[in-house]
Amino acid sequence: MKRAGARGFTLLELLIAVAVFAVVSAVAYGGLQAVLTSDAQTRLRGSVLAELQITLALLERDLRQVAAIELRDRFGDRQAPLRYSPLATEPELELVRTGNGGTQRLRRVAWRATEEGLERRIWEVVDPGDDQEPIARVFLAAQDRDGVHEAPTLELRFVVPGPSGDETLDAWPPLRASDHPTALPALIEVVLDVPGLGRIERHLSLPDTR
């Protein structure tokens, strides 16, 4: 009688096993790669969202603490405490705000969109026109996506009450405010276009200085 013995794998069976293992490994790797990519995107989006919340909170605090005071440039001309022109080479929102120490701690602050991100600058000297270098910090840093450099953009609109209802302006101060340089708008519409998050719009009210 023939004794039953262990039979080895044939070459064909080994080839089939290797092929099945390769397919399963490819599918598993693709799934793992998709999970890792999704996790990285979620983490990045969460980080950008957290940075956006900090940025908006700081911008809102600057605007709510704006000081309605009359400034003088280096030539002695009067300047508004809040200034913005979309037609400037580098549009910039510039304002004077109070601090914890009241009027004894006034600061001149500016916000602008750059290629690096949304930049906030602070001067120790309040009156514009000085040569002092500001302290700068970049928020919502620009990102490179698929070889494309993406930076946030900033749009501002200023709302003032009018005889026939609210009026929206794209620059401040308006020409008719030349006799009242400390006048402020009632509301500022802030529109940020942030890579990865899209368009974010906030309406920020200013102190009533009437």
The secondary element (H helix, E strand) that includes residue 160 is strand 153-162
Residue 201 sits in which domain range?
A: 45-205
pLDDT at site 28: 77
pLDDT at site 192: 94
- Residues near 129 by Cβ (< 8 Å), separated by ≥ 6? 73, 74, 75
Domain-embedded: residue 9 = no
Residues 186-204: tens digit of each pLDDT: 999 999 999 888 899 999 9
Task: Find the mean pLDDT for residues 106-131.
Answer: 86
pLDDT at site 136: 94
Task: Find the mean pLDDT for residues 41-59.
Answer: 81
For the chain, the average pLDDT equals: 81
Domain-embedded: residue 40 = no
Q: How far apart are CA 88 and CA 91, in angstroms?
A: 5
User: Who wins on pLDDT, 77 or 5?
Assistant: 77
For the record, the structure tokens of 130 come out as: 């000085």
Domain-embedded: residue 24 = no
Domain-embedded: residue 16 = no
For the record, the structure tokens of 88 come out as: 């400037």
pTM listed for this prediction: 0.73
Domain-embedded: residue 23 = no
Provide the 8-state DSSP code for 66.
B
pLDDT at site 56: 92
Residues 133-183: tens digit of each pLDDT: 889 999 999 988 778 889 999 999 999 887 778 889 999 988 765 545 568
Q: How many domains does the chain have?
A: 1
Domain-embedded: residue 101 = yes
* Sequence-ordered alpha helix ranges (H) in the chain: 11-64
pLDDT at site 182: 64
Domain-embedded: residue 20 = no
Which residue do the tokens 């790669």 mark? 33
Q: Which of 11-15, 102-106, 169-173 has the lowest mean pLDDT?
A: 102-106
Single out the residue of 206, 184, 185, 115 nearest to residue 154, CA to CA.
115
Is residue 36 very low, low, confident or very high in pLDDT (cuts 50, 70, 90)? low
φ, ψ for residue 160, nearest 5 deg: -130, 145
Handedness of CA 116, 120, 122, 126 (dihedral sign): positive
Is residue 116 very low, low, confident or very high in pLDDT (cuts 50, 70, 90)? very high
Domain-embedded: residue 30 = no
pLDDT at site 158: 94
pLDDT at site 77: 75
- Cβ–Cβ < 8 Å for 190, 172: no
Torsion angle of alpha carbons 179, 184, 188, 193, nearest 10°? 70
Residue 12 has pLDDT above 90, yes or no: no
Q: How far apart are CA 24 and CA 100, in angstroms?
A: 63
Residue 42 has pLDDT above 80, yes or no: no
